[in-house]
Every structure is written in structure tokens, then in C-alpha cells.
Structure 1
Amino acid sequence: MIIKGLQKLTLLDYPEKTACTVFTGGCNFRCPFCHNASLVTRLNSEEINEDDFFSFLKKRKNVLQGVCITGGEPTLMPDLPDFICKIKELGYLVKLDSNGYRPEILKQLVNDGLIDYIAMDIKNSESKYSLTAGVPDLNIDKIKESIDFIINSEIDYEFRTTVVKELHSPQDIEDIGLLIKNSKKYFLQSFIDSGDLINTGYSAYTKEEMQQLLEIATQKVTKNAYLRG
């Protein structure tokens, strides 16, 4: 599989686990505030040899517990299942980050026992989903299919929304509850300008404003709502 980046140690990406994070390239969304634009648009020419990656994993078996696979959008990679199988054979837990737009792939991975944790991005309320994902003809039913599957499966999971002041209103946070009502875990993440954005002109809410949005999420989305970052 094409590996575009590797973070050798993270204490944040996989909840309660020490892990490394693998980055894939390419995405079927074009979120204008995306902080990994060079990965999404494949402008990042860096590649890590797969054999070198697995050599790294073998050496870190006494240090790391899990591997996070993120992007880009990992489910676009045709050899993702085989890649994960190799990781699992080494005894690692696997967390997958996904936008949920390929529910058939998520189902395959979960049903085959390849994934231990899923973090699915909830881009916005249904009325603003297409705008926020940067996909004019977005099929919201695919998003709903992934949400329903994840909630009703036995997989450990979280939903999360990166909150951008110009795109997310308090009403949008409330309306997200219509998509993921009473879900197990929901995180609001404040937008951060990484300097590697698809578009510019976006800003973050203040800490006080994020706390107010969290109160809305706790009341209207799930009592298990939290701030991250």
C-alpha cells in the first residue's frame, strides 16, 4: 500500500493506547478547511516503503499497542484489507479514521474482524454536508448508512466534527443530533490552521464559544459529548 507519512508515536490518536499513525494519500472529499491538503490532492510526493514500515512495527512491538490509519481517506486504497491483515498478524490493534463515504468498505473491514476502533468524521448538519465536504453532488444516504452500521455494530467508535466558525453554527451542532442521536462518543474539535489548507479564510471559535457548543451537543446530540484539542 502507498504510505504517504508516518508518525512514529502518538498518545492522542488512539484513545488510551500508545500507537503510531499511518497517512494515506487521496480523498473523495474536498473539505475546504482540510489541514492535510497536500495529502488530499496527492501533491505530497513522499512515500514510505511498506517493507520499511513493517520492519518498524516489528521493532516497536514492546512499545506500541496500536496502529492508526488516516489520510486522506484510507478506504480508497484497494489493498487496505491486506495491509491491515499484515498489521493484525503482528498483534497490533487497528484504528481507522474515515469520512464514511464508502460504507461497503467499512462493513467489509468490520465484518472481517480487521478493525478495532473507528473514528468517523461528521462534517456538518445534513443541510450543510455537501458544502462542508466540498462535494456538490454528495449522497447523504451513504453517510447515514455508515453511521447506522457503526452505531449498531459491536465496534468501538467515535464520531467527531471539526468546527469552523464560517461553516458551523450552533443550530448545525444541534441538527447533527438528527444524524447521530445518542451515539457512544462525540467529539467537537476546534479548527486549526495548519498552513496546509485547501482554501483559506477560515477561523476557529474561541474556547468559551466551543464550551457553549459543547453544551448544545450534550443536550441535543449525546450526553457523551466532549471537546478535543
Structure 2
Amino acid sequence: MKIKVSGIVELSTIDYPKKCSAVIFLSDCNMKCKYCHNYEYITKNVYEMSAEEVFNDIDFLFAEAIVISGGEPTLQPEGVIELAKLAKSKGFPVKIDTNGTHPEVIEELIKNNLIDYVALDVKCRFDKYKELTGYDGDIKEKILKIIDICKKNNIFIECRTTFIPTVMGEEDIEEIAKTVKDCNLYAIQQFEPKDAYDDEFKKIHPPKPKELIELGKIAKKYVDNVVVRSFEGEIRI
């Protein structure tokens, strides 16, 4: 079968914690986040490849893990499963980045022992989802389902939020943290305006690291393991 792929990064030191990884970016997304830095890239650069062709394109000299990202990879469930099976057959741990809209795909991967790490983007406070992402669905219930599935099966689940000043405040982080309290790790990430999809978002100044740290302290009331990721690096709260 053919998988719609937008790009491959042969070596990343930031996408799989404590491991060098190869990152496979799948095309298409069912959200249109105004702050997204690669929406046009993943919708305009589309190559149809088999899982074998994808892996033949990767130099595995330094890679210790595989990350399947997007776009939203769960829109291509059969493709994700094929990539994960091939990665596992080669002895690689597998991480998936997801927006949480298809918990059934995550469940299928877990059921077949094809996944080791799930990174779940919690975009904003749940009543703001339609405005910020264009997605109008029961996202909170789906996020909770993914966290529950991962916890029951001992799969590491990271939830993460990109904090956007003027659009979000302390109450947003507090509500999100209360919701994802059972995840293994909650990360608050620094917004980068220069590549935002919406021109209005390019005008928003990124939050300062000290502001993110204060937000991390709020999240820490509810989640045991909290980190802040800024342009300067990662800080554990």
C-alpha cells in the first residue's frame, strides 16, 4: 500500500526523549491550527511511498528510534500500522505524535505492541478548539480515552501545549492540566510566531521563559511530571 508522506528527517535529537530518531512526517491534517508552522508544507508536499520505500530513504547510521508525525498520522491508520510494524521488525522503538482525534488508531497500535511512546497535542482550552483549530468534535473525551488506554497498557503518554500569549492565559493551562493529570509528562512549549500559518499570529510575541515557568508551576499542582520547553532548552518544574 502507498502512504502519503510529506518529509523525512533522518536524524533528530529532540523528537524522542533520550534517543536519536528518524522522523517520518505524514501528509494531511484534520485541524487547521492558526499557529501551525508546517500546515502548508504537509498539504502541498505529498509523496506516495510504501513503508519499505520510506525506510529505504533513511540512513540509519545514528537513529535509535522512529517517530511517526504529521500532519495527523492517524488519518492514515493502515499506513501508520505498516510503518510501525516495519520499525519494530528492525528493532526500533516507535513514537507517534497525534492531535488525539482518533483514539481507536492508538488503541490498535497498542493492542498489536507497535508503539512505545505517544505524544498528544492538547491545543488549547477545550471551548476554544473550534476557534483555534477549526476542529469541532468531542476532543476532550478523545484525549481522556487515549490517556486511559496508554496508562492501562504501560505506554508512556506525553501531553503538550504550545502556549500562545493573548490567545491563552493561566486559566487555559490550569484547565488542561486538570484534564490530563494522569499523563506521564505534561510539556508547555514556547510559541514561535515567525512561521505561523495565520498572519495575525505572526504578530504575537513569543512568551518569555520565565512566564512559561510560572505556567509550569500552575500545571504542577495537578500533574506530577511537568517540563517547559523554550528556545533555550528544556526546564523541569
Q: TM-score, normalised by structure 2?
A: 0.86
Alignment gaps of 5+ in structure 1: none
Q: Counterpart of 2:176?
A: 176
- State the one-letter code of the partner of 1:28: N
**Aligned 1:71-220 pairs, distance under 5 A:** 71-77=70-76, 78-135=78-135, 137-140=136-139, 141-195=141-195, 197-202=196-201, 203=204, 204-219=206-221
Q: Counterpart of 1:63?
A: 62
Q: Counterpart of 1:15?
A: 17
Partner of 1:123: helix, strand, or coil?
A: coil
- Aligned partners of 1:24 and 1:73 also within 8 Å: yes
> Which stretch of the first structure deviates more once superposed, 122-131 or 183-192?
122-131
Q: Residues 178 and 217 (structure 1 numbering): CA distance in 2 closer, same or farther, change over 3 Å?
A: closer
Give, in whole Å, the separation in 1 of the partners of 2:49 and 2:86: 16
- Aligned partners of 1:2 and 1:50 also within 8 Å: no
Q: Residues 112 and 194 (structure 1 numbering): CA distance in 2 closer, same or farther, change over 3 Å?
A: farther
Alignment gaps of 5+ in structure 2: 231-237
Task: Report how many residues are paired.
Answer: 223
Give, in whole Å, the separation in 1 of the partners of 2:177 and 2:191: 20
Shift of 1:145: 1.9
Q: Counterpart of 2:35?
A: 33
Percent identical among aligned pairs is 30
Q: Counterpart of 1:227?
A: 228
Shift of 1:181: 1.5
Q: Counterpart of 2:4?
A: 2
Give, in whole Å, the separation in 1 of the partners of 2:36 and 2:217: 25
What is the CA RMSD across the aligned residues, in angstroms? 2.0
Partner of 1:12: helix, strand, or coil?
A: strand
- State the one-letter code of the partner of 2:69: T
